[in-house]
Chains A and B, each alone.
Chain A
Protein backbone atom coordinates (compact mmCIF):
# COMPACT_ATOMS: atom_id res chain seq x y z
CA UNK A 1 0.00 0.00 0.00
CA UNK A 2 1.03 3.59 0.19
CA UNK A 3 3.67 4.79 2.60
CA UNK A 4 2.59 5.41 6.15
CA UNK A 5 3.07 9.12 6.16
CA UNK A 6 1.35 10.71 9.06
CA UNK A 7 -1.26 8.02 9.30
CA UNK A 8 -0.77 5.47 11.93
CA UNK A 9 -2.91 2.90 10.24
CA UNK A 10 -2.08 1.40 6.92
CA UNK A 11 -4.58 -0.55 4.94
CA UNK A 12 -2.25 -3.50 5.09
CA UNK A 13 -2.21 -6.39 7.52
CA UNK A 14 -3.83 -4.55 10.38
CA UNK A 15 -3.84 -1.36 12.40
CA UNK A 16 -0.55 -0.33 13.96
CA UNK A 17 -1.25 0.68 17.49
CA UNK A 18 1.35 3.34 18.00
CA UNK A 19 1.26 6.69 16.33
CA UNK A 20 4.34 7.28 14.28
CA UNK A 21 4.76 10.99 14.49
CA UNK A 22 6.18 12.79 17.50
CA UNK A 23 3.91 15.69 16.83
CA UNK A 24 0.84 13.51 16.73
CA UNK A 25 1.78 11.76 19.93
CA UNK A 26 2.21 15.07 21.69
CA UNK A 27 -1.02 16.47 20.40
CA UNK A 28 -2.84 13.31 21.36
CA UNK A 29 -1.56 13.04 24.89
CA UNK A 30 -2.50 16.64 25.57
CA UNK A 31 -6.09 16.27 24.49
CA UNK A 32 -9.09 14.03 24.81
CA UNK A 33 -8.34 12.57 21.40
CA UNK A 34 -6.51 9.81 23.25
CA UNK A 35 -9.89 8.60 24.44
CA UNK A 36 -11.14 8.38 20.88
CA UNK A 37 -7.97 6.60 19.83
CA UNK A 38 -8.72 4.03 22.45
CA UNK A 39 -12.02 3.29 20.75
CA UNK A 40 -10.30 1.45 17.95
CA UNK A 41 -12.32 -1.64 17.17
CA UNK A 42 -15.46 -0.37 18.84
CA UNK A 43 -18.69 0.26 17.00
CA UNK A 44 -19.97 3.71 17.69
CA UNK A 45 -21.81 6.68 16.30
CA UNK A 46 -20.23 9.90 15.11
CA UNK A 47 -22.38 13.00 14.87
CA UNK A 48 -21.23 15.39 12.21
CA UNK A 49 -21.57 19.12 12.26
CA UNK A 50 -23.82 18.98 9.25
CA UNK A 51 -26.41 17.08 11.30
CA UNK A 52 -25.70 13.73 9.72
CA UNK A 53 -24.51 10.70 11.62
CA UNK A 54 -22.28 7.79 10.86
CA UNK A 55 -22.33 4.52 12.77
CA UNK A 56 -19.60 1.99 12.25
CA UNK A 57 -16.49 0.33 13.64
CA UNK A 58 -13.63 2.66 14.49
CA UNK A 59 -10.61 1.80 12.42
CA UNK A 60 -8.47 4.72 13.42
CA UNK A 61 -8.53 8.15 14.99
CA UNK A 62 -5.55 10.40 14.49
CA UNK A 63 -4.35 13.33 16.55
CA UNK A 64 -6.36 15.74 14.43
CA UNK A 65 -9.51 13.78 15.27
CA UNK A 66 -9.90 12.51 11.74
CA UNK A 67 -11.98 9.38 12.19
CA UNK A 68 -11.93 6.37 9.96
CA UNK A 69 -14.84 3.96 10.23
CA UNK A 70 -15.67 0.74 8.46
CA UNK A 71 -18.97 -1.00 7.79
CA UNK A 72 -20.82 2.22 8.17
CA UNK A 73 -24.44 3.21 8.22
CA UNK A 74 -24.49 6.84 7.21
CA UNK A 75 -27.64 8.75 7.92
CA UNK A 76 -27.93 12.19 6.37
CA UNK A 77 -29.82 15.01 8.00
CA UNK A 78 -33.01 13.95 6.32
CA UNK A 79 -32.78 10.47 7.68
CA UNK A 80 -31.73 8.81 4.44
CA UNK A 81 -29.50 5.89 5.25
CA UNK A 82 -26.62 4.74 3.10
CA UNK A 83 -24.26 1.89 3.71
CA UNK A 84 -20.59 2.65 3.20
CA UNK A 85 -17.70 0.24 3.39
CA UNK A 86 -15.06 2.66 4.55
CA UNK A 87 -15.61 6.22 5.72
CA UNK A 88 -13.09 8.90 6.60
CA UNK A 89 -14.47 11.92 8.42
CA UNK A 90 -12.35 15.05 8.75
CA UNK A 91 -11.93 16.00 12.38
CA UNK A 92 -13.14 19.49 11.70
CA UNK A 93 -16.53 18.18 10.70
CA UNK A 94 -17.19 16.14 13.79
CA UNK A 95 -19.52 17.39 16.46
CA UNK A 96 -19.73 14.38 18.75
CA UNK A 97 -18.31 10.94 19.02
CA UNK A 98 -20.44 8.63 21.10
CA UNK A 99 -18.56 6.57 23.66
CA UNK A 100 -20.10 3.10 23.96
CA UNK A 101 -21.56 2.42 27.38
CA UNK A 102 -19.31 -0.54 28.05
CA UNK A 103 -16.14 1.45 27.56
CA UNK A 104 -14.32 2.40 30.74
CA UNK A 105 -13.23 5.92 29.95
CA UNK A 106 -10.53 6.32 32.57
CA UNK A 107 -8.94 2.96 31.80
CA UNK A 108 -8.97 3.70 28.09
CA UNK A 109 -7.27 7.04 28.56
CA UNK A 110 -4.69 5.53 30.88
CA UNK A 111 -3.79 2.68 28.59
CA UNK A 112 -3.52 4.98 25.59
CA UNK A 113 -1.17 7.29 27.48
CA UNK A 114 0.86 4.28 28.54
CA UNK A 115 1.27 3.23 24.94
CA UNK A 116 2.45 6.67 23.99
CA UNK A 117 4.97 6.71 26.81
CA UNK A 118 6.26 3.29 25.86
CA UNK A 119 7.07 4.48 22.39
CA UNK A 120 8.49 7.74 23.62
CA UNK A 121 10.85 5.99 25.99
CA UNK A 122 11.72 3.26 23.60
CA UNK A 123 15.05 4.75 22.69
CA UNK A 124 16.09 6.09 26.06
CA UNK A 125 15.68 2.63 27.52
CA UNK A 126 18.12 1.41 24.93
CA UNK A 127 15.59 0.04 22.51
CA UNK A 128 16.00 0.15 18.79
CA UNK A 129 19.06 -1.13 17.00
CA UNK A 130 22.19 0.16 18.55
CA UNK A 131 24.16 0.51 15.39
CA UNK A 132 21.57 2.86 13.96
CA UNK A 133 21.03 5.00 17.01
CA UNK A 134 21.43 8.69 16.44
CA UNK A 135 24.66 10.34 17.46
CA UNK A 136 22.75 13.03 19.26
CA UNK A 137 21.42 10.56 21.75
Chain B
Protein backbone atom coordinates (compact mmCIF):
# COMPACT_ATOMS: atom_id res chain seq x y z
CA UNK B 1 0.00 0.00 0.00
CA UNK B 2 1.35 3.28 -1.00
CA UNK B 3 1.23 5.91 1.62
CA UNK B 4 1.73 9.38 0.38
CA UNK B 5 1.93 12.60 2.22
CA UNK B 6 1.40 15.53 -0.11
CA UNK B 7 3.49 17.95 1.91
CA UNK B 8 6.36 15.54 2.07
CA UNK B 9 6.36 15.16 -1.66
CA UNK B 10 6.44 18.87 -2.16
CA UNK B 11 9.31 19.17 0.25
CA UNK B 12 11.08 16.34 -1.44
CA UNK B 13 10.56 17.83 -4.84
CA UNK B 14 11.87 21.16 -3.67
CA UNK B 15 14.88 19.88 -1.87
CA UNK B 16 15.45 16.61 -3.64
CA UNK B 17 15.44 14.80 -0.35
CA UNK B 18 15.07 11.32 0.86
CA UNK B 19 13.00 10.68 3.96
CA UNK B 20 13.48 7.66 6.05
CA UNK B 21 11.34 6.27 8.78
CA UNK B 22 12.55 4.94 12.02
CA UNK B 23 13.62 1.55 10.88
CA UNK B 24 15.67 0.39 8.02
CA UNK B 25 13.42 -2.20 6.47
CA UNK B 26 11.73 -1.38 3.21
CA UNK B 27 10.11 -3.00 0.22
CA UNK B 28 10.28 -1.69 -3.30
CA UNK B 29 6.94 -0.96 -4.91
CA UNK B 30 7.74 1.07 -7.93
CA UNK B 31 10.57 2.90 -9.53
CA UNK B 32 9.46 6.23 -8.27
CA UNK B 33 8.44 5.63 -4.69
CA UNK B 34 9.46 3.30 -1.98
CA UNK B 35 7.49 2.68 1.11
CA UNK B 36 9.08 2.15 4.41
CA UNK B 37 6.97 0.20 6.78
CA UNK B 38 8.34 0.77 10.16
CA UNK B 39 6.76 0.69 13.56
CA UNK B 40 4.34 3.47 14.27
CA UNK B 41 5.47 5.76 11.51
CA UNK B 42 5.28 5.09 7.81
CA UNK B 43 7.15 7.56 5.71
CA UNK B 44 7.44 7.76 2.00
CA UNK B 45 10.85 7.74 0.47
CA UNK B 46 10.72 9.57 -2.79
CA UNK B 47 13.16 8.80 -5.53
CA UNK B 48 13.58 11.62 -7.96
CA UNK B 49 14.31 10.14 -11.34
CA UNK B 50 16.10 13.20 -12.56
CA UNK B 51 18.32 13.32 -9.55
CA UNK B 52 21.80 12.27 -10.49
CA UNK B 53 25.30 13.03 -9.36
CA UNK B 54 26.64 16.36 -10.58
CA UNK B 55 29.10 16.24 -13.42
CA UNK B 56 30.36 19.79 -13.40
CA UNK B 57 31.92 21.95 -10.76
CA UNK B 58 32.57 19.08 -8.41
CA UNK B 59 35.15 20.36 -5.97
CA UNK B 60 35.34 17.13 -4.05
CA UNK B 61 33.96 13.65 -4.38
CA UNK B 62 34.17 11.20 -1.53
CA UNK B 63 33.12 7.60 -1.98
CA UNK B 64 32.43 5.17 0.84
CA UNK B 65 30.76 7.85 2.85
CA UNK B 66 27.94 7.05 5.19
CA UNK B 67 25.27 9.66 5.62
CA UNK B 68 23.44 10.04 8.91
CA UNK B 69 20.53 12.45 9.00
CA UNK B 70 19.20 13.45 12.42
CA UNK B 71 20.45 10.18 13.75
CA UNK B 72 19.10 8.11 10.85
CA UNK B 73 21.73 6.10 9.10
CA UNK B 74 20.91 6.44 5.40
CA UNK B 75 23.53 4.02 4.20
CA UNK B 76 26.88 4.17 2.50
CA UNK B 77 27.36 6.17 -0.65
CA UNK B 78 29.24 8.98 -2.32
CA UNK B 79 29.31 12.60 -1.26
CA UNK B 80 29.58 15.21 -3.99
CA UNK B 81 30.68 18.69 -3.01
CA UNK B 82 29.79 20.66 -6.11
CA UNK B 83 29.70 24.38 -6.65
CA UNK B 84 25.95 24.38 -7.18
CA UNK B 85 24.87 22.10 -4.38
CA UNK B 86 25.91 19.43 -1.96
CA UNK B 87 24.64 15.95 -2.75
CA UNK B 88 24.94 12.38 -1.65
CA UNK B 89 23.96 9.20 -3.48
CA UNK B 90 23.96 5.66 -2.28
CA UNK B 91 24.84 4.18 -5.63
CA UNK B 92 21.45 2.72 -6.39
CA UNK B 93 20.10 6.04 -7.56
CA UNK B 94 18.78 7.22 -4.23
CA UNK B 95 20.08 10.30 -2.66
CA UNK B 96 19.51 13.81 -1.53
CA UNK B 97 20.93 17.21 -2.19
CA UNK B 98 21.32 20.34 -0.15
CA UNK B 99 21.41 23.91 -1.32
CA UNK B 100 24.26 25.87 0.22
CA UNK B 101 22.11 28.79 1.39
CA UNK B 102 20.26 26.32 3.60
CA UNK B 103 23.43 25.18 5.31
CA UNK B 104 24.08 27.08 8.54
CA UNK B 105 27.41 25.56 9.32
CA UNK B 106 29.65 22.62 8.72
CA UNK B 107 32.51 21.22 10.77
CA UNK B 108 34.98 18.43 11.25
CA UNK B 109 34.27 16.44 14.35
CA UNK B 110 37.13 14.35 15.66
CA UNK B 111 35.85 14.01 19.19
CA UNK B 112 34.96 10.33 19.40
CA UNK B 113 33.54 10.77 22.85
CA UNK B 114 30.85 12.96 21.33
CA UNK B 115 30.20 10.80 18.27
CA UNK B 116 31.97 7.48 17.75
CA UNK B 117 33.31 8.24 14.30
CA UNK B 118 35.25 11.18 12.91
CA UNK B 119 32.97 12.86 10.44
CA UNK B 120 31.88 15.97 8.60
CA UNK B 121 29.01 17.59 10.44
CA UNK B 122 26.51 19.71 8.54
CA UNK B 123 23.72 21.74 10.07
CA UNK B 124 20.85 22.61 7.77
CA UNK B 125 18.32 25.34 8.41
CA UNK B 126 14.84 23.99 8.82
CA UNK B 127 13.55 20.50 8.90
CA UNK B 128 14.06 18.25 5.89
CA UNK B 129 11.07 16.19 6.87
CA UNK B 130 7.98 17.46 8.58
CA UNK B 131 7.28 14.02 9.88
CA UNK B 132 10.64 13.82 11.47
CA UNK B 133 10.18 14.86 15.05
CA UNK B 134 13.84 15.02 15.91
CA UNK B 135 14.80 17.71 18.32
CA UNK B 136 16.66 20.70 17.00
CA UNK B 137 19.77 20.14 18.99
CA UNK B 138 20.05 16.44 19.24
CA UNK B 139 22.54 15.37 21.85
CA UNK B 140 25.35 13.34 20.31
CA UNK B 141 25.24 11.06 23.35
CA UNK B 142 21.70 10.12 22.44
CA UNK B 143 22.72 9.16 18.96
CA UNK B 144 25.24 6.74 20.30
CA UNK B 145 22.60 4.84 22.17
CA UNK B 146 19.77 5.13 19.72
CA UNK B 147 21.29 5.40 16.35
CA UNK B 148 18.10 4.57 14.54
CA UNK B 149 15.82 6.64 16.65
CA UNK B 150 15.11 9.92 15.03
CA UNK B 151 13.43 11.51 17.97
CA UNK B 152 14.72 12.30 21.39
CA UNK B 153 11.44 13.58 22.71
CA UNK B 154 9.38 16.40 21.39
CA UNK B 155 8.70 18.23 24.61
CA UNK B 156 9.97 21.70 24.08
CA UNK B 157 10.23 21.56 20.35
CA UNK B 158 10.27 24.96 18.81
CA UNK B 159 7.51 25.52 16.38
CA UNK B 160 9.30 28.53 15.05
CA UNK B 161 10.72 27.52 11.67
CA UNK B 162 13.92 29.40 12.25
CA UNK B 163 14.79 27.32 15.24
CA UNK B 164 14.35 23.98 13.49
CA UNK B 165 17.40 22.36 12.07
CA UNK B 166 18.53 19.12 10.56
CA UNK B 167 21.85 17.60 11.50
CA UNK B 168 23.63 15.55 8.91
CA UNK B 169 26.83 13.65 9.44
CA UNK B 170 28.94 12.43 6.58
CA UNK B 171 31.21 9.66 7.80
CA UNK B 172 33.87 8.78 5.25
CA UNK B 173 35.72 5.52 5.57
CA UNK B 174 38.86 7.52 4.78
CA UNK B 175 39.20 9.86 7.75
CA UNK B 176 42.11 11.64 6.16
CA UNK B 177 39.72 13.01 3.56
CA UNK B 178 37.83 15.08 6.11
CA UNK B 179 40.04 18.13 5.62
CA UNK B 180 39.48 18.15 1.87
CA UNK B 181 35.78 17.63 2.30
CA UNK B 182 35.64 20.48 4.77
CA UNK B 183 37.69 22.85 2.62
CA UNK B 184 35.70 22.07 -0.49
CA UNK B 185 32.52 22.92 1.38
CA UNK B 186 34.04 26.17 2.65
CA UNK B 187 34.88 27.18 -0.90
CA UNK B 188 31.46 26.32 -2.23
CA UNK B 189 29.71 28.10 0.62
CA UNK B 190 31.65 31.22 -0.20
CA UNK B 191 30.19 31.05 -3.69
CA UNK B 192 26.71 31.46 -2.26
CA UNK B 193 26.64 34.65 -0.24
CA UNK B 194 23.41 35.63 1.40
CA UNK B 195 21.36 37.46 -1.25
CA UNK B 196 19.41 39.31 1.40
CA UNK B 197 22.46 40.91 2.81
CA UNK B 198 23.89 43.12 0.12
CA UNK B 199 25.81 46.28 0.75
CA UNK B 200 24.78 49.05 -1.59
CA UNK B 201 28.20 50.06 -2.72
CA UNK B 202 29.96 46.94 -3.80
CA UNK B 203 31.70 48.20 -6.87
CA UNK B 204 35.09 49.70 -6.78
CA UNK B 205 35.52 52.00 -9.72
CA UNK B 206 39.23 52.46 -9.71
CA UNK B 207 41.93 50.30 -11.17
CA UNK B 208 43.01 47.52 -9.01
CA UNK B 209 45.47 44.71 -9.07
CA UNK B 210 43.26 41.72 -9.58
CA UNK B 211 45.05 38.84 -7.99
CA UNK B 212 42.58 36.29 -9.27
CA UNK B 213 42.86 37.58 -12.78
CA UNK B 214 46.63 37.60 -12.60
CA UNK B 215 46.55 34.06 -11.36
CA UNK B 216 44.20 32.92 -14.08
CA UNK B 217 46.23 34.56 -16.79
CA UNK B 218 49.60 33.19 -16.02
CA UNK B 219 49.25 30.76 -13.22
CA UNK B 220 50.85 32.75 -10.46
CA UNK B 221 49.76 35.50 -8.19
CA UNK B 222 51.96 38.35 -7.15
CA UNK B 223 50.31 38.70 -3.81
CA UNK B 224 52.09 41.36 -1.83
CA UNK B 225 52.44 39.44 1.35
CA UNK B 226 56.13 40.19 1.22
CA UNK B 227 57.97 43.30 0.19
CA UNK B 228 58.51 43.48 -3.52
CA UNK B 229 59.94 46.41 -5.42
CA UNK B 230 57.21 48.95 -4.98
CA UNK B 231 55.74 47.73 -1.77
CA UNK B 232 59.11 48.07 -0.23
CA UNK B 233 59.25 51.68 -1.32
CA UNK B 234 57.22 52.73 1.64
CA UNK B 235 59.67 51.19 4.05
CA UNK B 236 62.86 52.60 2.59
CA UNK B 237 64.91 54.78 4.82
CA UNK B 238 66.05 58.14 3.57
CA UNK B 239 69.42 56.68 2.73
CA UNK B 240 67.77 53.82 0.94
CA UNK B 241 65.60 56.19 -0.98
CA UNK B 242 68.62 58.21 -2.07
CA UNK B 243 70.42 55.11 -3.23
CA UNK B 244 67.40 54.00 -5.16
CA UNK B 245 67.13 57.33 -6.90
CA UNK B 246 70.78 57.29 -7.83
CA UNK B 247 70.56 53.82 -9.28
CA UNK B 248 67.40 54.65 -11.12
CA UNK B 249 69.04 57.66 -12.63
CA UNK B 250 71.98 55.62 -13.83
CA UNK B 251 69.70 53.04 -15.27
CA UNK B 252 67.57 55.59 -17.02
CA UNK B 253 70.59 57.15 -18.60
CA UNK B 254 72.07 53.97 -19.98
CA UNK B 255 69.01 52.08 -20.94
CA UNK B 256 67.26 54.94 -22.66
CA UNK B 257 69.76 54.86 -25.49
CA UNK B 258 68.90 51.55 -27.03
CA UNK B 259 66.44 48.94 -26.06
CA UNK B 260 65.94 45.66 -27.85
CA UNK B 261 64.73 42.90 -25.63
CA UNK B 262 62.64 40.10 -26.91
CA UNK B 263 59.50 39.49 -24.98
CA UNK B 264 59.65 42.61 -22.89
CA UNK B 265 57.44 45.58 -23.41
CA UNK B 266 59.42 48.65 -24.20
CA UNK B 267 56.69 51.26 -24.35
CA UNK B 268 57.10 52.35 -20.78
CA UNK B 269 59.81 54.74 -19.84
CA UNK B 270 62.81 52.97 -18.52
CA UNK B 271 63.21 54.66 -15.15
CA UNK B 272 60.21 52.75 -13.96
CA UNK B 273 61.92 49.47 -14.57
CA UNK B 274 63.27 48.19 -11.33
CA UNK B 275 63.36 44.52 -11.99
CA UNK B 276 66.93 43.38 -11.76
CA UNK B 277 66.48 41.05 -14.69
CA UNK B 278 66.39 43.91 -17.10
CA UNK B 279 69.66 45.23 -15.88
CA UNK B 280 71.37 41.93 -16.54
CA UNK B 281 69.96 41.59 -20.01
CA UNK B 282 70.88 45.13 -20.88
CA UNK B 283 74.41 44.56 -19.79
CA UNK B 284 74.84 42.17 -22.64
CA UNK B 285 74.84 45.11 -24.97
CA UNK B 286 78.46 46.03 -25.10
CA UNK B 287 79.49 49.40 -23.90
CA UNK B 288 76.24 50.36 -22.23
CA UNK B 289 77.47 50.29 -18.73
CA UNK B 290 81.03 51.22 -19.19
CA UNK B 291 80.66 54.21 -16.97
CA UNK B 292 78.55 52.42 -14.42
CA UNK B 293 79.83 50.86 -11.30
CA UNK B 294 78.07 47.55 -11.79
CA UNK B 295 79.50 44.12 -11.21
CA UNK B 296 78.31 41.17 -13.24
Contacts and interface: CB of A to CB of B under 8 A. Distances in A.
A125 interface: yes
**Residue of A17, A30, A92 with most chain B CB atoms under a 10 A cut-off:** A92
Contact of B199 (A30, A78, A129): A30
A93 B105 contact: yes
Interface in B234-259: none
Contact of B107 (A18, A72, A80): A72
Interface string A6-34: 11001100001110111101110011000
Interface string A78-92: 101011111111111
Interface stretch (B21-29, B31-39, B70-78, B175-183): B175-183
Contacts of A16: 223, 225
B231 A118 contact: yes
B228 to A, nearest CB: 6
Nearest to B122: A88
B124 to A, nearest CB: 11
Interface in A89-137: 89-93, 118-133, 137
B106 interface: yes
Interface string A31-52: 1000000000000000011111
B179 A90 contact: no
Contact of A130 (B110, B111, B199, B268): B268
A62 B137 contact: no
Interface in A55-69: 62, 64, 66, 68
B218 A132 contact: yes
A119 to B, nearest CB: 6
Q: Which of A66, A77, A78, A127 has the most CB of B within 10 A?
A: A127
Dominant SS at the A interface? loop
Given A50-B136, A127-B209, A87 B275 contact: no
A128 B222 contact: yes
Contact of B207 (A1, A10, A31, A137): A137
- Counting chain A CB atoms within 10 Å of each CB, the highest count among B202, B208, B222 belongs to B208
A25 B208 CA distance: 10
A36 B185 CA distance: 21
B264 to A, nearest CB: 6
Interface string B92-130: 000000000101111111110010000001000100000
B186 interface: yes
Contacts of A131: 263-265
A76 B8 CA distance: 28
B35 to A, nearest CB: 33
Given A93-B104, A130-B265, A80 B190 contact: no
B190 A62 contact: yes
Residue among A6, A18, A128 facing the most chain B CB atoms (10 A cut-off): A128
Nearest to B115: A82
Contacts of B263: 131
A126 B187 CA distance: 31
A31 B199 contact: yes
A68 B136 CA distance: 23
Nearest to B83: A5
19 contacts: A2-B180, A17-B225, A18-B224, A20-B215, A20-B221, A27-B199, A50-B104, A50-B136, A78-B139, A82-B109, A83-B111, A87-B106, A89-B104, A91-B193, A92-B196, A122-B224, A126-B274, A130-B264, A132-B214
Interface of B: 59-60, 101, 103-111, 114, 121, 125, 136-137, 139-140, 162-163, 165, 179-180, 182-187, 189-191, 193-194, 196-197, 199, 201-204, 206-212, 214-215, 217-218, 221-225, 228-231, 233, 263-265, 268, 272-275
Interface of A: 1-7, 10-11, 16-18, 20-23, 25-27, 30-31, 48-52, 54, 62, 64, 66, 68, 72, 74, 76-78, 80, 82-93, 118-133, 137
